[in-house]
């Protein structure tokens, strides 16, 4: 599977990958704005990339949003927090966007979000632990940080570097090489490694 583009989280002026979310369709719902995202390439199946941050008031915000939107109604692009997007007619890696398909870039919208739950942010990918299935496991990074929010307000930060090392050790080896499970075991492994690692040992490191 082609490597998928990840959301970005800016924390203390440094950019991280948003590599884990405690709940599905969080920390915001793309469809609530009226978008109908489409996949412009195999590297972006969900059709959008968001960037988040924590502002000076400890509030979780949606800072930027790039979305590929399909709409034949002729309506204008929706506002987000009072701002219209820039409409991009040609994308360097994609070419011309035309017809009933649009590419919108929202910048500095700083929309407050009321998300409650935990987020994983990470950076510094470790090549030896990468197993290519579209998305990298949180165990594939040198730095893994858990951020907790309640009703959109930042509560706490936990460094989970030890958790990442532990998950790396869970991948089976054969002749010194990491082995990806097959069949039904593959989907269970992907769920544990990529989707909701909160259910697989995070609490041990608190």
- 3-class secondary-structure state, position 17: strand
Q: Which residues contact 54 (CB under 8 A, 6 or more apart)?
A: 11, 60, 61, 147, 154
Q: Considering only 2-6, 24-28, 80-84, 121-125, which range has the smallest mean pLDDT?
A: 2-6
Tokens coding 91: 């994308």
In tens, the pLDDT along 123-177 reads 876 555 445 544 555 566 678 888 999 999 999 998 886 666 665 555 555 555 5
Confidence of residue 206 (pLDDT cuts 50, 70, 90): very low
With residue 83 as reference, give the H or E element that holds it: none
CA distances for 130 relative to 30, 31, 137, 181, angstroms = 29, 32, 8, 15
pLDDT of residue 159: 86
- For the chain, the average pLDDT equals 76
The C-alpha atoms of residue 3 and residue 8 are separated, in whole angstroms, by 15
- 3-class secondary-structure state, position 191: helix
pLDDT of residue 5: 75
Neighbours of 193 (CB within 10 A): 22
In tens, the pLDDT along 20-47 reads 888 766 789 999 999 998 887 777 888 8
The C-alpha atoms of residue 115 and residue 32 are separated, in whole angstroms, by 14
pLDDT of residue 202: 40
pLDDT of residue 102: 87
pLDDT of residue 196: 43
Strands (E), the chain: 8-11, 14-21, 48-54, 60-70, 86-88, 90-91, 95-96, 101-106, 111-112, 117-125, 141-150, 153-159, 173-174, 177-178
Model confidence at 109: pLDDT above 80: yes
Domain ranges of the chain: 28-112, 117-205
């Amino acid at each position: 599977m082609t490597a998928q583009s990840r959301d970005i989280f800016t924390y203390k002026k440094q950019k991280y990958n948003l590599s884990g979310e405690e709940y599905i369709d969080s920390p915001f719902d793309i469809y609530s704005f009226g978008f109908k995202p489409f996949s412009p390439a195999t590297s972006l199946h969900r059709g959008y990339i968001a960037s988040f941050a924590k502002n000076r008031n400890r509030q979780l915000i949606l800072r930027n949003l790039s979305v590929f939107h399909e709409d034949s109604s002729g309506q204008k692009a929706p506002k987000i927090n009072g701002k219209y997007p820039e409409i991009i007619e040609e994308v360097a890696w994609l070419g011309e966007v035309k017809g009933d398909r649009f590419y919108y870039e929202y910048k500095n919208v700083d929309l407050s979000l009321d998300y409650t739950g935990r987020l994983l942010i990470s950076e510094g990918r470790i090549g030896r632990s990468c197993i290519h299935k579209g998305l990298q496991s949180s165990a594939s990074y040198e730095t893994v940080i858990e951020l907790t929010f309640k009703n959109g307000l930042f509560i706490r930060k936990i460094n989970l570097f030890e958790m990442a090392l532990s998950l790396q050790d869970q991948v089976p080896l054969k002749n010194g090489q990491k082995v990806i499970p097959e069949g039904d075991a593959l989907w269970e492994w992907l769920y544990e490694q990529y989707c909701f690692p909160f259910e697989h040992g995070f609490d041990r490191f608190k």
